[in-house]
Each structure stands twice: as structure tokens, then as C-alpha cells.
Amino acid sequence: MNEPLQKSIHKHYQVWLSSLVNRLGGERLRLGLARILYKLQIEEDLSIPAKGGCLVAFNHVSDAADTIVYLVIQHYRPDVFLFVWNLNRDIISSFLRTTGLARSAERLILTDMRLTQNANELLRARQVLLDGGCVAIAPEGETTWDGRLQSPLAPGAAWLGLHTAVPIIPIISRGGYDVQPLWWREKIRLTGRIQIRAGQPLVLCDHPLEKVTEFQLQAASQRLWQVLSELINR
């Protein structure tokens, strides 16, 4: 079978499957499937505040694992916004279908690879946090190629943390790499073992900072990386 035909069949199958899941049970069914297929374990002390501004930072392992993490965050905070690179329209719409978010695309904060173009979206995320909302972000910026936490982190999470002083909830997933590694992204394994755990909230400063220096950004990013890294290796 040639590749374009295979991709087209895969896409239609994905659309059909996600609409079926939406009709049958939506988020609850998705998490249930994750528990059955991937033996999903969520640590009991996963504490995402139900109210108030918070930034959830999670590691970027694979589409499948990240989607499950996002569903878990959404379970605790239905008002969560997702901070994501605007890479490709097909990829974004595929993600929206998988997570059942297709009707709430306004909850995406789409950022651009032209870094200077991101001011509006960064300010929008900052306002969401200052208004007591929740923003989920993968501070590595891109999915890992080799399964490890990438360094240095992209500056977005630290920038938001310093400009809002909201707690950053570090969340990591383990075991998602072999389900769908980036180098074999086309194939999602239907078995696996995924664990999700959260660390203690990290507050980068006592009050929102008006101006942030490059040094402060780097130091805050490094601190966040350290927290995520310790959580993965715990």
C-alpha cells in the first residue's frame, strides 16, 4: 500500500475512532482506556489546585503520553489552557480530535517559532494566570528524541512563572517513550506502562516581576529543570 493512501486511511480511522469515543463517554472513557491499555498509574498525591492561578509544567515524551497527561490535568482543572507550538495545522487538529477538545480550540495558546512574534500569546497566558486560571506547558519546547529530559528548557515556563508568581506544578510521565517514540511517531503501541507523578509546587518569586533579566530567566529555567529531573529519577 502506498504511503499517501496509508496516511489517508489512518487519518479517517483516527477521526472515526475519536468521534466514537466522544459519543460513548468522552474524557472518562479516554482515561479508562489509558488505564486498561497503558496500565496508567497516577500517584495519589497528584495535587493540582482546583482554584487559583497555576502553571502546570510537564515533560514532553510522546504524543500519546502527553495527551494522557493533558487529560489528567484537564480532569483536575477543566478550565486549563494549553501552551503549544503552532507547528502544523494537521498535527494540531489531530491533537484536538484525540483529546476531545475540537470544540474548545480557544483554550489553545498557539505560539510561533519566530520567537519575536509571541508577545501577544505570552501576555495572554500571563493574563490567564493572573486571573486565576490554569495553563499547561511542556517547558522543553519539543518532544524528546532519545527519551531523556532535554536541557536547557525553553524560556516560556520560567517567563510566565516570574511574571505571575503563580505556583508551578511539575508533572512528569514515565514509560511513554516506548509507546510512541518520536522516531516512530506513526506507530502508536496499544500496550505500555505509564506512570504520572507530580512534585511539590514551585514558586519562583514572591510577587509578579515587571522586568525579568536573561540571567533570572536562565536561573529559573535551570531550577525547574532540576525539579523535573529529580521527579523523573525519583
Partner 1 sequence: MIQDLLWRCPLCASNDVLKHNRHWLYPDTVDCTACGAQWRVRRVVGDNYYLKVTHAGKSATTVQPGLEQSITSWYDLMKQTIHLVDRPESSNLLEAGEKLYLASGQATLWTELQLAIPITEKHSPAIAGSSPLSFTNPSVTAAEAGLIGTGRLFLTNRRMIWRQSAKGRRPPLPVDFQTFTFPLQQVNGIYAILNLGLLLVVGMQLYTLRFAQESPLKWVTYTALLAPQVQVESGHRIRTSHY
Binding site for partner 1 (CB under 8 A): 87-88, 91, 113-117, 140-148, 150-151, 174-175, 177-178, 181-185, 189, 191-195
How does strand 54-58 pair with strand 134-137? parallel
CB of 103 to partner 1, least distance (A): 25
CB of 116 to partner 1, least distance (A): 8
Q: Which is nearer to partner 1, 65 or 160 (CB)?
A: 65
63, 185 contact by CB (below 8 A): yes
Give residue 11's Cα distance to chain centre: 22
CB of 48 to partner 1, least distance (A): 24
Q: Which is nearer to partner 1, 24 or 119 (CB)?
A: 119
CB of 142 to partner 1, least distance (A): 5
Cβ neighbours for 85, distance < 8 A, ≥ 6 positions apart: 110, 111, 112, 113, 141, 142
d(CA 221, CA 137): 13
Q: Which is nearer to partner 1, 133 or 139 (CB)?
A: 139
Q: Which is nearer to partner 1, 81 or 177 (CB)?
A: 177
3-state helix, strand, coil in the chain (%, to 5): 50, 15, 40
